[in-house]
């Protein structure tokens, strides 16, 4: 069955019965072997590793994954920074379509229990109209769920260690376990798992935090992008980026050994990916190829398609639907992401990859991009802004501060000076085949007009189709999600005994999911996901809470069978 994305469906029908349908589907396929699924995610790197042709770096473990698995050459994030990108991964939706495009909306990096969910009303951040932007939790349409809920309903034990950063507070219904101690080891016997382990060693901050660590690469042999001056401080920070990737590769090797020791390597599908492009200037936060192009490798236990290289366009937004497809759960129709493997692999994938750039911390912007694998088209909606804007966080990096100082003294020349233009063209077009560093704008070249018009039209149609919310000032958008800037609250769970000795749970809040605990589990950190009515033993107590993304979680309600 396909799931409706129509609004106006009561929560007990819109979700509980939906999940029951998923559960029945899983039962129908229970004779088929269910592999575990493991995500080994990392942060802030493009495809800079041996298997992707990078020079001056050694990544034997990631290269092994590629030899034994499937390498995707054209995988892209939807945004060049973590929180909006991760919102698209957990929901399968473009950030601009659900209002999660701004970086960042609140303290959502890790899981917070509902009682510890707090928001600052003032953070010295303003939107494009100069009005205050408070902290908030994004409220997507009521039918949008965190995709692991569908897996939990299908019988998977789902864990996340440990980064959330979804632009909304992580719902207690999303994971069986979430946090620094989350592990698939606590699942029931023979229960398949979906587990996420995030490695932060390649994060932007580690360029300056680890600069005193031993350098693992020869900085003299590194290829420096044309948009940087070839000076010692640049080679130092590019070398640190490469060294951190080699540290990541070591950790991937530890994981492969761990899976072998636990007899799980031949039972687990492994995904390796980064949340967006590289950590350096004109990489992280960029809306072009340098900010969106990411590594993606999938290894099957039986090594099917081993060594295959795929040139189709894939989005990180496709990861959730693909995991569902591999678990024999049909992805919901509302998701923009498309399954690229498994039972429900789509016949026709993405023709283009679309990207967005909006507010980054204290800096407000708006750009959109479309990539067809070779050409990159960028539309700047605030062209009066400079390419390199001031941003406190990234200016902790030595090379960034140095380049800003060099620009102020008029010392940058050629392609390096291109980054520091005082304003931007309305349109940019780059040919990655002849210009991989995206420094030669072809938008005004007559010979390129046909491609310019094609991508311009594709971008405009996409913005209309997804309802690009970037045109709404953030102050107003928050007020639409939180009327009067007050967080809406999910209505409490109502219990209804049925004639079959079961108890039915529901919430009046449209699209709410329900979490519950019974017996000795009451008061612990683990919440079950309500899928369908079930029987309680005599005198057995149940505690439940209703959850909708972006809303305040309901208060607990109790029921005890007579």
CB 41 within 8 A of CB 200: no
- Decide if 330 is inside a domain: yes
| Residue 399: closest CA among 276, 292, 287, 278 | 278
CB 35 within 8 A of CB 301: yes
82 is catalytic: yes
d(CA 390, CA 368): 20
Looking at the structure, do residues 363 and 316 belong to the same domain, yes or no? no
Q: Is 118 part of any domain?
A: no
125 occurs within a structural domain: no
Last residue of a domain, one of 436, 459, 485: 485
Residues 81 and 142 in one domain: yes
500 and 549 both lie in a single domain: yes
301 and 361 part of one domain: no
With a CB cutoff of 8 Å and minimum separation 6, the contacts of 532 are: 16, 17, 19, 20, 23
Which residue among 485, 509, 529 closes a domain? Answer: 485
pLDDT on residue 19: 44
DSSP state of 312: E
In this structure, the number of other CB atoms found within 10 A of the CB of residue 29 comes to 14
Range of the domain at 367: 357-485
**Contact predicate 374/352, CB 8 Å:** no
Whether residue 328 is contained in a domain is answered as: yes
DSSP state of 529: E
Number of domains in the chain: 3
Q: Is residue 505 part of a domain?
A: yes
In 3D space, the residue among 358, 357, 285, 361 whose CA is nearest the CA of residue 125 turns out to be 361
Taking Cα atoms as reference points, which of 114, 107, 105 lies closest to residue 173? 114
**Catalytic residue from among 13, 42, 82, 170:** 82
Q: Is residue 234 part of a domain?
A: yes
Please report which helix (H) or strand (E) contains residue 148, including its range.
Answer: helix 148-153
- Same-domain status, 240 and 280: yes
> Are 202 and 239 members of one domain?
yes
Phi and psi angles of residue 555, each rounded to the nearest 5 degrees, phi first: -70, 160
Write down the pLDDT at residue 100. 98
Sign of torsion, CA 403 294 177 517? positive
Whether residues 246 and 388 share a domain: the answer is no
Task: Examine the domain organization and report whether 91 and 173 are in the same domain.
Answer: yes
Residues 6+ apart with CB under 8 A from 136: 105, 106, 119, 478, 481, 482, 485, 487
Q: Which of 422, 455, 485 is the last residue of a domain?
A: 485
pLDDT at site 492: 98
Question: Do 212 and 319 fall into the same domain?
Answer: yes
User: Helix, strand or coil for residue 35?
Assistant: coil
55 and 27 fall within a common domain: no
pLDDT at 253: 98
The domain that contains 76 carries what CATH number? 3.40.720.10
Give the whole-angstrom CA distance, residue 302 versus residue 29: 20
Q: 345 and 388: one domain?
A: no
For residue 535, give the CATH number of its domain.
Answer: 2.60.40.10
Please indicate, yes or no, if residue 447 is contained in any of the structural domains: yes
> Is 131:473 a contact under the CB 8 Å cutoff?
yes
pLDDT in tens, the chain (562 residues): 222 233 332 333 333 434 443 443 444 444 467 999 999 999 999 999 999 999 999 999 999 999 999 999 999 999 999 999 999 999 999 999 999 999 999 999 999 999 999 999 999 999 999 999 999 999 999 999 999 999 999 999 999 999 999 999 999 999 999 999 999 999 999 999 999 999 999 999 999 999 999 999 999 999 999 999 999 999 999 999 999 999 999 999 999 999 999 999 999 999 999 999 999 999 999 999 999 999 999 999 999 999 999 999 999 999 999 999 999 999 999 999 999 999 999 999 999 999 999 999 999 999 999 999 999 999 999 999 999 999 999 999 999 999 999 999 999 999 999 999 999 999 999 999 999 999 999 999 999 999 999 999 999 999 999 999 999 999 999 999 999 999 999 999 999 988 778 899 999 999 999 999 998 999 999 999 999 998 888 888 999 999 999 999 999 999 987 7
Q: Are residues 516 and 386 in the same domain?
A: no
Q: Do the domain assignments include residue 430?
A: yes
HSE-CB at 103 with a 13 A cutoff on CA atoms is 25
**Rounded (10°) CA dihedral 444, 445, 449, 453:** -30
With CA atoms as reference, report the closest residue to 63 among 309, 278, 244.
309
């Amino acid at each position: 069955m396909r799931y409706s994305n129509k609004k106006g469906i009561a929560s007990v029908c819109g979700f509980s019965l939906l999940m029951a349908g998923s559960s029945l589907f899983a039962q129908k396929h229970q004779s088929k072997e269910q592999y575990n699924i493991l995500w080994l995610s990392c942060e802030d790197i493009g495809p800079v590793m041996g298997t992707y042709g990078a020079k001056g770096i050694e990544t034997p473990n990631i290269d092994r994954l590629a030899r034994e698995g499937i390498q995707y050459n054209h995988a892209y994030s939807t945004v060049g920074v973590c929180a909006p990108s991760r919102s698209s991964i957990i929901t399968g939706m473009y950030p601009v379509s659900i209002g999660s495009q701004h970086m960042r909306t609140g303290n959502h990096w890790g899981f917070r229990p509902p009682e510890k969910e707090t928001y600052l009303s003032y953070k010295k951040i303003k939107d494009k109209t100069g009005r205050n932007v408070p902290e908030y939790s994004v409220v997507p349409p009521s039918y949008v769920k965190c995709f692991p809920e569908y897996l939990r309903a299908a019988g998977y034990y789902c864990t996340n260690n440990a980064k959330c950063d979804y632009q909304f507070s992580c719902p207690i219904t999303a994971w069986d376990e979430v946090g620094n101690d989350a592990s698939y080891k606590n699942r029931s016997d023979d229960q398949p798992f979906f587990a996420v382990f995030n490695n932060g060693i390649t994060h932007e901050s580690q360029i300056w935090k680890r600069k005193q660590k031993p350098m693992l690469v020869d900085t003299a042999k590194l290829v420096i992008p044309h948009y940087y001056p070839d000076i010692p401080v640049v080679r130092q920070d590019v070398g640190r980026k490469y060294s951190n990737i080699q540290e990541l590769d070591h950790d991937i090797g530890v994981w492969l050994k761990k899976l072998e020791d636990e007899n799980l390597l031949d039972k687990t599908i492994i995904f390796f990916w980064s949340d967006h492009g590289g950590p350096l200037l004109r990489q992280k936060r960029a809306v072009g190829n340098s900010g969106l192009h990411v590594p993606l490798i999938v290894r099957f236990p039986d090594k099917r398609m081993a060594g295959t290289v795929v040139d189709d366009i894939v989005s990180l937004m496709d990861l959730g639907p693909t995991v569902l497809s591999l678990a024999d759960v049909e992805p919901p129709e509302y998701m923009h992401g498309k399954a690229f493997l498994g039972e429900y692999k789509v016949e026709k994938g993405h023709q283009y990859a679309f990207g967005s750039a909006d507010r980054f911390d204290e800096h407000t912007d708006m750009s959109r991009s479309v990539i067809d694998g070779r050409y990159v088209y960028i539309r700047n909606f605030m062209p009066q802004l400079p390419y390199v804007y001031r941003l406190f966080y990234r200016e902790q990096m030595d090379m960034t501060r140095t380049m800003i100082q060099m620009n102020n003294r008029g010392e940058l020349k050629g392609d390096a000076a291109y980054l520091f233009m005082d304003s931007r063209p309305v349109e940019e077009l780059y040919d990655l085949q002849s210009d991989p560093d995206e420094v030669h704008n072809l938008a005004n070249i007559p010979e390129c007009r046909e491609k310019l018009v094609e991508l311009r039209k594709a971008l405009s149609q996409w913005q209309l189709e997804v309802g690009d919310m970037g045109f709404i000032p953030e102050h107003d958008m928050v007020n639409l999600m939180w009327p009067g800037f007050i967080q809406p609250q999910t209505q409490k769970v109502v219990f209804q005994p049925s004639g079959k000795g079961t108890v039915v749970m529901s919430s009046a809040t449209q699209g709410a999911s329900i979490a519950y605990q019974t017996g000795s589990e009451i008061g612990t950190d683990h919440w079950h996901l309500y899928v369908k009515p079930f029987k309680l033993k005599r005198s057995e107590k149940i505690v439940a809470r209703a959850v909708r993304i972006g809303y305040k979680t309901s208060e607990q309600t109790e029921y005890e069978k007579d």
